[in-house]
Each structure stands twice: as structure tokens, then as C-alpha cells.
Structure 1
Amino acid sequence: MEALGRWRADWRYPTALLCIYGFFSTVKPLEPFLTLYLTGPDKNLTTEQVNNQIFPVWTYSYLSVLVPVFLLTDWLRYKPVVVFQAATLLVTTATLLWLRSVAAMQAMQFFYGVVTASEVAYFSYIYSVVDPKRYRKATSYSRSVQLLGYTVGSVLGQLLLSLELMSFNGILALTLALTAAALLASCLLPMPRRSMFFHRGAPAEGKGPQAEGLEEPDGGRRCSQALLQLWRDFRQCYSSRRLLYWSVWWAMATCGYNQTTNYVQVLWEHVQPSQNFSMYNGGVEAVSNLLGAATAYGIGFTEVRWEQWGELALGGFSGLGAGALFLMTFTGSIWVCYTGYVVFKCLYMLLITIAMYQIAADLSMERYALVFGANNFGALALQTVITSVVVDSGGLGLSIIPQFTVYASYFAVIAVVFSLRGLFTIWRSNKSHDSTSAVKEEPPDSEEHRF
């Protein structure tokens, strides 16, 4: 019992439970085949219903709950929101399995938007229960295990369908069991005693009823102070021009990336209808995840002055991403379309890793979480505008080829803007370097030096 107590008090206990939760909650074998499932005999929906009426709901849901969930996550100290995320994921899977109508699938997308918004609790929890010196390891474990879960889910789904070992509904039943395991792991997580904004200090032990009564009217004041501190931190972070430029790219590129990954299955179905072809969506997602992770990992070993060359890299590689999207849009070969998707995803993973590193370099962990959330909110706001105008049946309601033409053009604009900005940054840096060198080389008794 004593050994068990020491293990529960150690940083590895909450980290291990969070990793177990992260793995089981991200193994989703059906996800690469969701469009195929919705338009098949199980749900019997049309591609237009899926593309223009059902999928847009996720974006609207995510945006509407992101800020409240962010604040509640810190106020409730993470664990309740992690448990809520697991329970909502269970409801999402059950809705997808047992209900059939367009309205039911829209409700499913709404629940999934809540699940996505609640990820902030997963990524923030670990910083409240481990020592700062363990942040790097704990973050590495919790993020890596999610990638492993997505990859295992994609490969598992591909094998189960290709080998005809399980039906779509059978795969969803398996996913329900995995989600239940994630829910159990979330319930076992230790409750943090502090948070980043609302509960900065650990509560005192052994408080009497009178002390507790004094704290209750103090809650409103502490809340207002926390919100004011949040606003001050926000303003101070974005007062840095370099951080602002990197954050603008983050928001714009993440918006385009999310739109692409959300609707790429519809594009694949258009390029090669599933009734005429054995789909390999799961294998493609697994390969893109692994290569994307390898690319992101490899960037840590490159010696590049990103503060000088980074913006040009953002522009240049965004241009390659735009080229991959144009190729995916206008090709008639599913394999070329698959390859373009893998290239596009690897480029995004490469660049977002550089952006995260550059932004986090000069920030405390608390402020990094704030900037991370603000940048994602900006991406989501842009995504909502694009969805409502381009995709939603209440807007233009474009079919899949015009949609991807818009996404490719969008990345081309990003490429031009940041390439020009990158060239200006390099020119200014070289000019500053030349001026400094000239001053250093000037003789001490020259006229220019004396005056």
C-alpha cells in the first residue's frame, strides 16, 4: 500500500493515466471512412447533404463553445472538463451508430465540436499536476500518444474493412468500447489543486467553516481579477510584432488545413467513387500522420536562423502546399490525389512545428497556453466565415471541386503574403548587419567617427 501511495504521488501516475486516456480517445477506426459510411446504405445520405448540411455544423459548434469551455476548463481545474469530453465523445459515437436522419447527424457533429473544444483541458491538465522540470517529458508523452492513437485507428479501420473482418456498425461498436475505457481513465485522474488563472495557488489545508464562508463572497473578486490578468497577458503577448506575424500565419494556415482535412474524403469520393474502387483512406491517413510526425521531429535537428528565414519558409512551403492542393483538385487519379494530400499534410506539420517553437521560445507555459488558444480561436473564426460563405447550403453551397479550388487559392495568397514579408525581413536584417559592420570597421580618428 505504501508503494502504491508513492506511485500515485509521483508525476508518472497522472501522466500515465492521461496518456491512456489520450490513446483510447483517439483510436477512431471509422474516421477515415466517415463520408463513405454516411453516404452508404447504413445512413443513406447524399453527398450534398453530408458536404453542405452536416459537416459545417462542426465548425459552428466548435466556435460557439470554445471560449466558454476555455474559461470553464481553468475555473473547474481541468479534470471535470476531461471527463466531460470523454462522456461527450461517447454520446457522439452512440449518435453516429444508432440514429440516421440529417438532423441526427447534425447533432452528432455538434457534440463532436464540443469534444474538439474540450481538448484544451487535455493539453493543459498536465501542467497543473507535475513539476515544471517535468513539463517537457510529460508534454512529449501526452502529445505523442495521441498521434499513436490516430495512427492505430487509421490502420485498424483500413485492415478491418479491407479484409472484411467487421462491418461499419461493428467498427462503431468497437469504438464505443474504446471510448468507455477512455472515460474510465479520465475518472481516475487526480484532481489538480491549482490552475493557470483562477486557482494560481494551492488551497490551504484545514480551513474552518468561517474561513470557507469568507471565501465565498471573495469568489467574484477573484474571478474578475483572473479575467483582468488574462486580458493583460493577452495584450502583452501580442505586443511583440514577431509573435504577431507568426500567430497570423498560424491562424490562417490552420484554418485552411482544417477545411482541407474536413472535406478531403468528399474529394476522394468524387475522384474515385468507392463502388468502383477499394478505398485506402485509412492507410493514407496513417502514412500522412507518421511522415508528418517524422518531418516535425526532424526540424528539431536543423540549424536554421528561423527568426531571419522563418517567414520566407512559411511563404515558400505554403506555396508548395497550394500546389499540392491544386494537384489534388484537378487530377483524375486517386493515387495522385492521395500523394498530394500526404505532401500537403507533411508541409503543414513542418511549418506549424516551426511556428510553435518560435512562439513558445519567449513565453512562459501559462502564456503559451493562452496564445495557443487565441491562435486557434482566430483560425476557427476564419474557418467559420469560409464555411458559411463557401460550403454551407445557406451560402454559396459550392460542390467539392470549386471548394478545393478556393482552398488552394487561399494557400496561394498566404504564400505570396509571407514570401514578400520574408524577403523584406531578410533585406532588413542584411542591411542592419552591413550598417553594424561599417561602424565597427570605421577608424577611430575618422571625421564620421568623431561627429
Structure 2
Amino acid sequence: MDCWKGAICRSWIYPTVIICANGFFSAMRPSESFLTPYLTGPDKNLTIEEVTNQIFPVWTYSYLALLFPVFLITDYARYKPVLHLQGISFIITWLLLLFAHGVLAMQMVEFFYGMATATEVAYYAYIYSVVSPDHYQRVTSYCRSITLVAATVAAVLGQLLVSLADVSYFHLNAITLASVSLAFVCSFFLPMPQKSMFFHRKDVSPTPPAPDKAAVASVGPDGPSSCHEDEGSVSADRGPTPKAQADNAEPQNHVLRVLVQLSKDLRDCYSSRKLLYWSLWWALATAGFNQVLNYIQVLWDFRAPSHSSAVYNGAVEAIATFLGSATSMAVGYAKVNWDLSGELVLGIFSAMDAGSLFLMYFTNNIWACYAGYLAFKACYMLLITIATFQIAVNLSMERYALMFGFNNFVALVIQTILTIVVVDSKGLGLDISTQFLIYGCYFAFIAGIFLIRSVYTFISTKRRNNSVVDESTDH
């Protein structure tokens, strides 16, 4: 659709409404909470071992293989085509889930689902290319909130249909197919962006740009507290220099320059010790969180087999999503010196995550298992919100997207290693209960790192304050 035809299409409202509709229908997947019971039930007749050790690992591998090329293609193709690809991937995923059978077919399901997951970057980056910076905060809130609402609605709807209307898992997947198909249709009504963050920068007058107000960052005892913008930094809101305009005729050189700039920006960002530690927690914890999320249904089915017990996966996911959003919102009202106490908070809540996972390992009670998952997800959502804020507070939009993307890439590499060693049948191929013991130890290790680091930070700060007092006394 050519949105230039109407004035409403040129405003920020139209693309925001359409991208939010796309996000809602993409995330409104009521069958997801019941994937494991569906695969191990009479519809697909797979064993727990096949699902755990042969099928689910494919998602991790395909996601890792596709993430970086999709990230570059998303920016080069200016988002909209990748949103089409996401819709197609979701549709193929659920068509296979509905009508295909066997381990190989379900591995293909995981591959296409990994492709859909990798293309989510287009959804979160698209809106910044079609609205002005004045609306960034508002549209970000809308885009992220609508997916949270959709996930909650999907989980509640799925549980109600299963528990009260006795709807089969097959028909839940049919409803999901209809929802992701609507998301695919919505993507065609989006206006095509004229710029992107790296490959298609906004053309402006070649006069020198004004100094970037985000360029100045404070420097603390541990080094710079944020990345510094320099004259060579790529920006979506700056025009290319005359040299860059001349080089536009050489696409290969242009791609190379972008890759060099990305690597330079990453080096500058991670030279800040503060950002390095927050990013370290981000990568380690996100890897563990995604691993738990990927296999939690298998554990629930092991503790209370779906063929002989009532299944409350949808209700638990809905409550977990609500608790996650509540804890995330609470961060905005917390009055904490994150520079001093941030690592202690990371250590304490990571220890609580470890405790939740140990509870899920040692208990045979499904309700205790549900409670452990609720606590685990709430703690992680609290911490990831803090980490997001701490990393983003002084970054430009480009470095914000780049650093978050790289942190997630590192997390995915770690998750892939965990999958190969712990889960895959070609590795240890551990049973699901033992896997959660490993994940508990993994989060205990993360907690240990940051608790030790917090003690070091407190001691260093105290010594520094004492030396300042001594110097003032001497004078």
C-alpha cells in the first residue's frame, strides 16, 4: 500500500496502529502453552525423549544460524520485507504443526519457528524508521505493551478453551494459524520506510551536523560510563558526508564500511567496564532463561503427564506474564543507586532464580513446580528491565540496537552450547529433571559471580571514600 496517498498515512499514528496490529496477532498464539502436550499426545504421538532431545534443540540451532544474517538483511531491506518473511515463517510453522507428522517434520517446524524468532528484530526496529524521534518513547511503549497484552490474552484464551470448552489442541493450533495469518495480512498495509539505521541513512544537507547532545558521557573510576559518540558514528538522523555520498555507488564498499563501523561501535561500547558487566549478566542470564522457557513444558508434562492430569499451562503462563510486567513496572519507581548496588541486586535475584530451579528439580508436586516457574520468570523480568535501562541510558539509537543485538547473539551462543552439551541426544542427552538441576547450578554460578563482584565494588568504594576523607583531613 502506498501510504503517501493520504495525509493520515504520513503521520506517526497510522504506522503505529498497523505495526501494533501486526504485533498483536503475531503474539496471539493460544496453542503455544500446550505445545508439548500436543506433540506427545495422540495428534503427533511423539515421545518425551524425541521432543526434548531431537526436536526442541533445532530451534536453538536455527535461531543462532539465522540471527546475524537476518539482522543485516533487516536493515538493508528496510524492515518491511522481513516482516513479510516473519509472517510466512509463522504460517509454515503452524501448517506443519497441523498437518505434518514425524520427528523430521517437527524439526522443520522448529527451523521455521527459529526463522520467525530471528525476524522479530524487524518488528521492534521498524517503527523507528517511519516516525520522528519525538514519538520514540510513546511508540516503543505501544509496540512492546501490545505484544505483552497479546501473550496474556493468548494464554488465558487457550486455558479457558481447553478447561471449559474442551477444545482440542489441534483446534487451538488452527486458531493460532488464523491469528498469524492476520498478522501477515497486516504487514502489507505498512508504509515502506525510506531509511534504516545503518545501510539507508536519511539524506540531509551536506553541511556539518550539530554536536550530538548524547556524545558526552561521564567518566568514573572504572572507565567511561557509556559509549561516546564520535564524528564517524553512523546515525539514522545524520546525513552522509560528501565522501560517503560518493561511495554510495560502490555497494560492496558501503557494506564493508558499515561492518567496520559496527565493529568499532562494539569495541567502544564494551570498553566501558560498567556496560561490560551489565552485558555479561544479560548474556549469561538470557541464555539460561531461554533454555528454561524452551523446556519448562516438558518438565511439567514429566511431573504431571497431560494424558492423565489436568493441564494448566495457559493459566500459569498468563500469571507469569502478569507478574513479569508488574515487576518490570516496579523498577521505574525504585530509588536505588544502581552504580553501587546494581551488581548486588543482580547477584541476589540470580540466586533466587537458582533457588526456583532447584525447587523445580527436587519437588514432584506440579503446583510447587508452577510456583517455582512464576518466581523464576518474575525475577528474570525484574533484572532484565534494570539491565536494559542501565545499558540504554546513554547510548544513541544505533548503539542501543547494536549492543542489545550483540548481547542476545552471545546469549544464543551460550544457549547453543548448553543445548549441545546438556540436551541434544548427540551430547549428554540428559533427562528433563536432571537438566533443571544443571540450570539451577548455572544460575547459582551467575549469582556467585555478581555477589563476589558486588563485595569488591563495596570495598573499593569504601576505600576510595576513606582516602578522600584522609586527604581532606590532611589539608
Please classify the TM superposition score into its range, dividing by the shorter chain length: over 0.9
2:385 corresponds to: 353
Give the conservation status (yes or no) of the 8 Å contact 2:303–2:364: yes
1:248 corresponds to: 280
1:164 Cα offset (Å) = 3.1
Give the conservation status (yes or no) of the 8 Å contact 1:81–1:118: yes
1:440 Cα offset (Å) = 3.3
Higher helix proportion, which one?
A: 1
**What secondary structure, in the 3-state scheme, does the structure 2 residue paired with 1:188 have?**
coil
Residue from 352, 362, 370 that aligns with 2:402: 370
2:222 corresponds to: none
In structure 2, do the counterparts of structure 1 residues 217 and 200 end up closer, same or farther at CA, with 3 Å as the change threshold? Answer: closer
Q: How many residues align?
A: 433
1:415 corresponds to: 447
2:88 corresponds to: 87
Aligned: 1:33 with 2:42? no
1:273 Cα offset (Å) = 1.5
1:289 corresponds to: 321
User: Aligned runs of 1:126-141 on 2, under 5 Å?
Assistant: 126-141=127-142
2:336 corresponds to: 304
**What secondary structure, in the 3-state scheme, does the structure 1 residue paired with 2:447 have?**
helix
- RMSD value, Cα: 1.7
Residue from 346, 351, 354 that aligns with 1:314: 346
Give the conservation status (yes or no) of the 8 Å contact 1:89–1:111: yes
Q: Give distance in 1, aligned partners of 2:17 and 2:203.
A: 23
1:448 corresponds to: none
Q: Give distance in 1, aligned partners of 2:191 and 2:470.
A: 61
Q: Give distance in 2, aligned partners of 1:47 and 1:138.
A: 42
Q: Residue 384 of structure 2 aligns to which amino acid in structure 1?
A: I
1:224 Cα offset (Å) = 1.6
Give the conservation status (yes or no) of the 8 Å contact 2:41–2:307: no
Q: Percent identity?
A: 53
1:209 corresponds to: none
Q: Give distance in 1, aligned partners of 2:140 and 2:90.
A: 23
Give the conservation status (yes or no) of the 8 Å contact 2:83–2:187: yes
Q: Give distance in 2, aligned partners of 1:433 and 1:138.
A: 43
Give the conservation status (yes or no) of the 8 Å contact 1:193–1:203: no
Q: Residue 344 of structure 2 aligns to which amino acid in structure 1?
A: L
Deviations 1:59-85 (A, max 9, x none): 000000111000001111111111111
**What secondary structure, in the 3-state scheme, does the structure 2 residue paired with 1:274 have?**
coil
2:466 corresponds to: 434
Q: Give distance in 1, aligned partners of 2:414 and 2:258.
A: 28
2:155 corresponds to: 154
Aligned: 1:328 with 2:329? no
Q: Residue 350 of structure 1 aligns to which amino acid in structure 2?
A: L
Q: Give distance in 1, aligned partners of 2:253 and 2:416.
A: 34
1:207 corresponds to: none
Q: Give distance in 1, aligned partners of 2:6 and 2:387.
A: 41
1:269 Cα offset (Å) = 1.0
User: Aligned runs of 1:88-237 on 2, under 5 Å?
Assistant: 88-202=89-203, 217-237=249-269
Q: Give distance in 2, aligned partners of 1:202 and 1:91.
A: 38
Q: Residue 44 of structure 1 aligns to which amino acid in structure 2?
A: N
Q: Give distance in 2, aligned partners of 1:295 and 1:147.
A: 13
Q: Residue 185 of structure 1 aligns to which amino acid in structure 2?
A: C
Answer with 158-167 or 40-49: which moved more: 158-167
Give the conservation status (yes or no) of the 8 Å contact 2:248–2:254: no
Q: Give distance in 1, aligned partners of 2:304 and 2:376.
A: 20
**What secondary structure, in the 3-state scheme, does the structure 1 residue paired with 2:336 have?**
coil
Q: Give distance in 2, aligned partners of 1:4 and 1:23.
A: 26
TM-score, length-normalised on structure 2? 0.89
In structure 2, do the counterparts of structure 1 residues 218 and 203 end up closer, same or farther at CA, with 3 Å as the change threshold? Answer: farther
**What secondary structure, in the 3-state scheme, does the structure 2 residue paired with 1:199 have?**
coil
Deviations 1:61-115 (A, max 9, x none): 0000111000001111111111111111111111111101100000000000011
Unaligned runs of 5+ in 1: 205-213, 444-451
TM-score, length-normalised on structure 1? 0.93
Q: Residue 458 of structure 2 aligns to which amino acid in structure 1?
A: I
Q: Give distance in 1, aligned partners of 2:204 and 2:147.
A: 32
Q: Residue 289 of structure 1 aligns to which amino acid in structure 2?
A: T
Give the conservation status (yes or no) of the 8 Å contact 2:247–2:253: no
Answer with 385-394 or 162-171: which moved more: 162-171
Give the conservation status (yes or no) of the 8 Å contact 1:23–1:146: yes
Give the conservation status (yes or no) of the 8 Å contact 1:328–1:336: yes
1:402 corresponds to: 434
Q: Give distance in 2, aligned partners of 1:441 and 1:15.
A: 59
Answer with 35-44 or 162-171: which moved more: 162-171
